[in-house]
Chains A and B, each alone.
Chain A
Amino acid sequence: MNALEKQFAQTVAEHKSTIYTVCYMFSQDADEVNDLFQEVLVNLWKGFESFEHRSDIKTWIYRVALNTCISIDRKKRRQATARLTMDINLFEDRDEDTRQVDMLHKRISKLQPFDRAIVLLWLENLSYEEIGQIVGISTKNVSVRLFRIREQLKSIKD
């Protein structure tokens, strides 16, 4: 493994939860989440060398992950050839924690992909500026959209 690969592996290990959370929120079953996770890793690797650290690495990872998940969601899944994944099945596990996570998943899944991305970032405690940078809209626009999403979420029953 060369230095770049080692650095990439370390970056992925540090942000695995972030990447998996995005994939999970854009998936409907365990296979899909694994496919998305793999696809995001492939896209991160493709851009890793050219990433110039002008923005925070976490912001970049979010951008790649969300772009991948949104575009795959539009194209309706493309099978990945290899599988690197997390040894967890949030769609089939039955413990209390997973039930809570499932409630969140069901709620967020009812939103449009773009809104899903915004609320996901908001739930991750990112600032409006950061959210705007990731999804490519102004801070003001983030605020307006979040207000609408919030109203929408409140009306969604579990």
Chain B
Amino acid sequence: MNNDYQNPQNDMELDAMRQQMNTLKKKLDQQQIVNDHIIRQSMRKTAKSIKTRYYAIMALSLLMIPYTYVIFIERLGISLAFWIGTSVFMLVCCGATYYNSLNVNIPNAMGRNLIEVSNRMARAKKFDANWLFFGIPAVIVWLGWLTWEFYQLDAEMTRYMVYGIVCGAVFGSIAGFRMHNKTQEQYQEIIDAIEEITAEEDA
């Protein structure tokens, strides 16, 4: 091996460069070659589907604010406090969805480190799962409040209204849980794809 032209040991600058080169080699030796394109393409497709769903939820949450005003206040005469409560709940839903969409919406996802993408997906999946701890109790409180509001308006009719509320809650829950499960599966799909490749390369 070389090098006899100068003594690099005595040359701090060049010695530092050698060390930096060794650091680079060490980092690269720990890496594996991956078929980046295929993983990223499938990942981008799945992430796009989650993003689209999140945008739909955000749009729906915001649209519910004027819609519930027309229905609850103008047509049914329910209290303004209930509409404000509903609106706050919708805004929280929209804000939380937007916050989580930031994990999925990675600028230049195709050029990023897969491990970083995987971490983001795991974070988003966890947030999405944890949302139920707030979402389910909040919906139960909201439905209870709605029933009470109907009771205030017309005690006789409340019984029939409750049937409607229960039906709506059942169908809404089924749809909501299906959507939630699909999102969770898609997050897992992305995480698994990355892990699979890493495991293959490690084997």
Contact = CB atoms under 8 A, between A and B. Distances in A.
B24 A24 contact: yes
Given A87-B34, A87-B36, A122-B2, A101 B27 contact: yes
A153 interface: yes
Interface in B26-75: 26-29, 31-37, 40
A16 B2 contact: no
A63 interface: no
B181 interface: no
Nearest to B25: A17
A16 B33 CA distance: 8
Nearest to B34: A87
A102 B20 CA distance: 9
Given A86-B34, A128-B2, A21 B111 contact: no
Nearest to B6: A150
Contacts of B40: 83
Contacts of B115: 87
B161 to A, nearest CB: 56
Contacts, number: 107
Contacts of A146: 3, 5
A12 to B, nearest CB: 7
Nearest to B117: A87
B14 interface: yes
A73 interface: no
A45 B114 CA distance: 26
B18 interface: yes
A17 B17 contact: no
B33 A123 contact: no
Interface string A108-138: 0000000000000011111110010000000
A17 B21 CA distance: 11
Contacts of B6: 147, 150
Contacts of B3: 122, 125, 127-128, 146
Nearest to B115: A87
B112 interface: yes
A109 to B, nearest CB: 13
A100 B15 CA distance: 13
A104 B24 contact: yes
B200 interface: no
Contact of B111 (A17, A30, A123, A143): A30
B156 interface: no
A83 B35 contact: yes
Given A84-B33, A125-B1, A154-B13, A104 B20 contact: yes
A16 B101 CA distance: 36
A127 B1 contact: yes
A13 interface: yes
Contacts of B37: 82-84
A5 interface: no
Closest 7 CB pairs of A and B: A83-B37, A104-B20, A17-B28, A86-B31, A123-B21, A83-B36, A101-B24
Interface of A: 12-13, 16-17, 20-21, 24, 30-31, 34, 82-90, 92-93, 97-98, 100-101, 103-104, 107, 122-128, 131, 143, 146-147, 150, 153-154
